[in-house]
Structure 1
């Protein structure tokens, strides 16, 4: 094929945001996604309409591209294994994904390679329980779904009894002072590039803001960069990874979760960095030289535009108001329906310093959440 073609399993906003980078790099995207109105359908050179865990559809996808990558973790590794055995190039590989998709297995792997993590156990092994605790579904939990902060035994029993899943991870409740994240990429030849460490501000386990760079010491930043290097090298990973962390009051850092894909905490890179996380991911999986991850501005704040009502609305007036803010970049994922907590878009504002973050973030949120 004269043009490099990348297959993407998943057609949400993460795949959609690869479009500009793909065009820049002369790459065509072939997307496997279930719905005709999924965001990435609009930018794909070709779309295979099928669930992301449909291995038969992925076999077809693989015949139409040079390499297959992932937009989300809702995949069936066992079903994909025969394709890998037949030579389909998955990046990251199935071996890299294997210890990461189940949160309990992920914790075990991180502990095994010597990275600091909160105390954890399976639901069965954690008894007697120390409250408060954090209860997480071992698979498919994201944006607050499948994650519960539990204060007592009765609440724990109610959650487990009413849940549609039967496998949980239990972990200690960590009294962190900040939640941090780092985006890191690794190429097939072992080159690693890390982005500036950011602070993430969450509500109900959903990210509302990302502040770049995080106001942390050089020592803490170095510690986090070393964690990223150790993780990616231990995995022999290829592609971009989002690493979420807790910063404790004694400046200790614990690894919270790993996402083997582009990540919400890296959306600021689209406008605030020389090379975005989406371009970096495509560079890595296509075995191109990795790009410059440096900030193009002294600071930036990214604010997620979350659904606050059940509606069919494109919120055009609000988007125009947000776009009129100085140095603001608005991304709208073109989802047809809004519901509480759904990620509909985001806004990144470039700043002269992190001192202006709170004021600007409040300004964005006052526009977005105002009832017109």
Structure 2
């Protein structure tokens, strides 16, 4: 029992990795069926289906999470869930070897690829709910449910949705210096309780401890100061303290000038105060650092469109579509520009492409069909497609 509990604590250290993203060469799974009446263009419908399938049908859950991520590549939850479904499909011994840091597992190509997916999720939101790991260890009769170890109690409570108990038990656990990494887990629980100042304080304590130790050596789960600073920024942004959030994102960039997610978040802060010029500048820097981020490409394209810089906007919107053709929003913005350019055939095609991919509840679907029908009746030049 002690081995299992000790290894389970390793889950907490697999949080903010600074490893390099591995190439994604995953075979495309068949799009799974949903329940009758479900919106097959809804990322959330696939995500919910995956949650229902994760324990009994992990292969099907993996396909659900894959398509959820394709339909909306801007949200982190399907990516994190894909990491869980990967390990759910493995032999339990391999997962424990992974937690122990055995190199023949951690350096395996498939493991590095799925770890990069988890990193992508945390780059989207390092404070997202991360309790789905419980599906890997919480089986009938599982010993973790009877543990009196405050660290285990706290982590299990968090995974089961009891954030208050999690915060309380983890407060006891972190008094033991060997559990200092659990301050991140306590911050996650406090974030769920909307105690954003307290969550940020836990992360500050973790950062202070790291700086005192001046850790340079990389271990199994690479602790990343820029990611903890970034997490503080997310907490402060949720609180509505834009100055503190901006300061934290700046510190993240001080730790790592190539950290593109901080620029995306800074663009959101600029938008919040109506500073579109700064937002465009931050988005431009984010694209320079990570040219394959669909969310950044789309955001930059729409910002440039609003500024009347339509040629630049089209470049980024088309790149977003190229990167993820199942993501609906870029098609609508591109169609709007093409209609303005009087490229009616291309605009109509883009509107229809949007309508074919957008969620049924999106009010723009009806408008897209209407605009496409009207444009089809007009003469117009073709700009060479979408």
Q: What TM-score do you get using the length of structure 2 for normalisation?
A: 0.28
Structure showing greater radius of gyration is 2
Task: From the two aligned structures, give the one with the greater helix fraction.
Answer: 2
Q: What TM-score do you get using the length of structure 1 for normalisation?
A: 0.29
